[in-house]
Structure 1
């Protein structure tokens, strides 16, 4: 059993991770988010909710008491500031394991026409802060895993493959359920993918853009 801190706990992937962990493990979950009233707790014996701002280092330090693994499901234009707060907070504790959700394209690793399309969609305010945030995580001395999902869908499917930093990104899309499954796998075996930045896509989805675009 592990004590898991989920930052950005109201995110769609985070809620899927929460559900899967409650169904398949005996881990205790500390759910950290703004406006905590948005969350409905299903198992109060295994879930603790904290209302807080992920850019507030002191709030995160307080939430880290007794935690074994941090899973950060954060987003927004201030994600670099959040990364600095998260890394800075963890550095003040005995916690070492961080799972960080990022996005594809932060290393200009997406090839071909899809890569050009991805830049057109995400340059100018999205890729730049996500890349900066990932660098904060990579420059830390934490046992991190950065996850770079393809374009996300709500398909009811768990099917994915991975690539590593330095390899061309594969595919164009992946389901949120697949990313949640990968996160749960890392939580259940924290020794996996240490200090790796992992691209995640659904196999056989190569093309110029995701299927719904």
Structure 2
């Protein structure tokens, strides 16, 4: 079945890979939601519709969600908890159930060993108002909802032109240190295409055999 997929934060790098994967693998129509539509290039108007909007403005967000069958949120903002609350509210109001949400490695203090210590030091693990603290608060909003959510916690991101990844579920120790943005985009497309195996689950995603004290380029 062809779906209307709302992509929030459509100009993001991971979103770009997800868009390419969705266009290549399926027949879904993509609703590209962004505050900066001028940054979107090479739009296929038969498969994509650009919507200018702000997830912090409920009227704009609600109007877009009303057109969707599924929502993929690729957001980065100090107010990400408020964005999560707005998205859950809009989806509940319009009866949309499927949400794919990009979070962050380390939000559950799930990264073991020296890499976990390094990751916490870099991202502010244990501090409420830090990067990890705000992303944890947003993830808690999503998991407390009645949506068929899938949360993705990517390892440190690379721009390598490869699709090579493995996953861990919440409660399991995170593996590896890095993963390509293209891999995350591929995983997003896979979830949207076949949501049932991933519904109400939370995944760490990494490239196999990248264990270490920090990502290879650091």
Check whether TM > 0.5: yes
Q: Per-residue deviation at 1:76?
A: 1.7
Mapped to 2, the partners of 1:164 and 1:42 lie a distance apart of 35
Alignment of 1:1-213 (within 5 A): 1-123=2-124, 125-213=130-218
Contact 1:58 1:89 in 2 (8 A): no
Distance in 1, matches of 2:67 and 2:82, equals 24
Work out the CA distance in 1 between the residues paired with 2:78 and 2:140: 15
Report the alpha carbon displacement of residue 58 of structure 1 after superposing the two structures with TM: 2.0
Instruction: For residue 85 of structure 1, give the secondary structure of its aligned residue in structure 2.
Output: helix
Residues matched between the structures, number: 213
Alignment TM-score, normalising by the size of structure 2: 0.95
Deviation digits for residues 50-109 of structure 1 (CA, Å, limit 9, x no counterpart): 111112222111002231110000012111111111111111011100000000100000
State the SS of the aligned residue for 1:92.
helix
Aligned partner of residue 133 in structure 1, secondary structure:
helix
TM-score in terms of structure 1 length: 0.97
Comparing 43-52 with 111-120, which one deviates more in the overlay? 43-52
Runs of 4+ residues deviating >3 angstroms: none
Give unmatched runs, 5+ long, in structure 2: none
Q: How far apart are residue 42 of structure 1 and its match?
A: 2.6
RMSD: 0.9
Distance (whole Å) between structure 2 residues aligned to residue 22 and residue 144 of structure 1: 22
SS at match of 1:141: coil
C-alpha distance in 1, partners of 2:25/2:119? 35
d(CA) in 1 for partners of 2:186, 2:10: 16
Q: In the aligned structure 2, how far is the partner of 1:62 from the partner of 1:203?
A: 40
What's the offset of the Cα at 1:210? 0.3
Q: Distance in 2 between matches of 1:164 and 1:133?
A: 18
Unaligned 5+ segments in structure 1 are none
Q: Deviations over 1:148-189 (max 9, x none)?
A: 000000011111110011110000000001101100000110
